[in-house]
Amino acid sequence: MSKHINTPTITSVTDEDSNVSTFVVEPMHAGYGMTLGNSIRRVLLSSISGAAITSFRIEGVTHEFTAIDGIKEDMVDIMQNLKGVRFKVYSEEPQTLAIEKKSKGEITAADIKTNSEVEIVNPDHYIATIDKSGVSFKGELVIETGRGYQTIDNTSHKKSSDFISLDAIFSPVLRVRYKVENTRVGQMTDLDKLIITVQTDGSIEPRDAFEEANAILINQYEALAGKTRVEALSMLADAQAETLTNAEEDEKDSLTTSIEDLNFSARTTNALINNDIQNLKDLFSLTDAELKDLKGFGSKALDEVREKLAELEL
């Protein structure tokens, strides 16, 4: 048994959809599939940075229980729908965007007027419906970046009293599932394979979210490890080196094969032995020109040697 805690490798990444990717990590120390899988999943769901609406105002509305004439939904429904609008924000500062629709029909995220710092990921997302002619819907949205979940009480950029705060879900990761399977490397059969699937809302690539989650974990653990370091080796690298060594040993063994065991004709065998060529290694070291110069070695014998070397893939 190895005395080292070996480091795993991402052996494959499968993009099942633009927002869904599956990562295969192996080989892992026995029991580490569940340990790391659960840690990565928790960080992915709670700590990846994202953007969300934290407060808003609508003209003619003073609080969340105000009725809006000509709008199908009440304010509670509109608030819930606004939480589902997803953004890519390229600034650390809060962004204020306008939303406006002047005609009868559905109001969607596409009616939000963006700027150079904000991109809407799901412009088709439904917000409300104007069901009466002559009614307009106009307001402002405050978008902030953050991690995890922020309650209404923690909203920091409520611009004025007519702005209504929203609790915000910043996490762009919608779902994470993982499973652990057995795998082996060489003679070690008690190793883990972690298969983890990440689904995002489109504001971040699953690969980027996966890497960010692991970077967060590294920072946390390094702060606790102090100056202590544990030597780590790659099982796959060791296995590949062992395979290469075994192949080299097999090749070395094959080169010691006696000329008599190569099943040449009697004439060719005698010619080689009479010229002090005792094994395959001696034969392999000679060029065609050197073989032709051997005493009693003709063109038919040379063809026979060539066929045998080709057969042995040498």
| Tens-digit pLDDT profile for residues 246-279 | 444 554 555 667 767 667 777 777 777 777 777 7
Strands (DSSP E) found in the chain = 9-17, 20-28, 49-58, 87-89, 95-101, 105-108, 112-113, 118-120, 126-130, 137-147, 149-150, 164-165, 168-169, 173-185, 188-200
Q: Are strands 137-147 and 9-17 parallel, antiparallel or unpaired?
A: unpaired
Span between the terminal Cα atoms of the chain, in Å: 36
- Nearby residues of 193 by Cβ (< 8 Å), 6 or more positions away: 24, 25, 26, 27, 28, 33, 180, 181, 182, 183
Closest CA to 113 of 98, 123, 103, 102: 98
Calculate the alpha carbon distances from 19 to 15, 97, 186 in Å: 8, 26, 36
Please state, in angstroms and as integers, the Cα–Cα distance from residue 120 to each residue in 96, 102, 202, following that order. Answer: 13, 21, 10
pLDDT at 285 over 80: no
How far, CA to CA in Å, does 41 sit from each of 179, 181, 238, 270? 11, 17, 29, 71
- What is the CATH number that goes with domain 49-169? 2.170.120.12
Residues 134-155 have pLDDT tens digits of 889 999 999 999 999 988 876 5
Second-level CATH architecture of 9-48+173-236: 2-Layer Sandwich (3.30)
Question: Residue 244: what pLDDT?
Answer: 46
191-231 per-position pLDDT tens digit: 899 999 999 999 999 999 999 999 999 999 988 988 887 77
pLDDT at 237 over 70: no
Q: What is the pLDDT of residues 55-105, one digit of tens each?
A: 999 988 877 887 788 899 989 999 999 999 999 999 999 999 999 999 899
Q: Kindly tell me if the per-residue pLDDT of 289 is higher than 80.
A: no
- pTM for the full predicted model: 0.69
Tell me the per-residue pLDDT of 29-56, one tens digit each, with 9 for 90 and over: 888 999 999 999 999 999 999 999 999 9
pLDDT for 28? 87
1: confidence class by pLDDT, cuts 50, 70, 90: very low
Nearest alpha carbon to residue 68 among 151, 150, 153, 164? 164
Ranges 82-86, 188-192, 297-301, most confident:
82-86
**Domain extent listing, the chain:** 9-48+173-236, 49-169, 256-311
Least confident of 2-6, 23-27, 155-159, 211-215: 155-159
Top-level class of domain 256-311:
mainly alpha
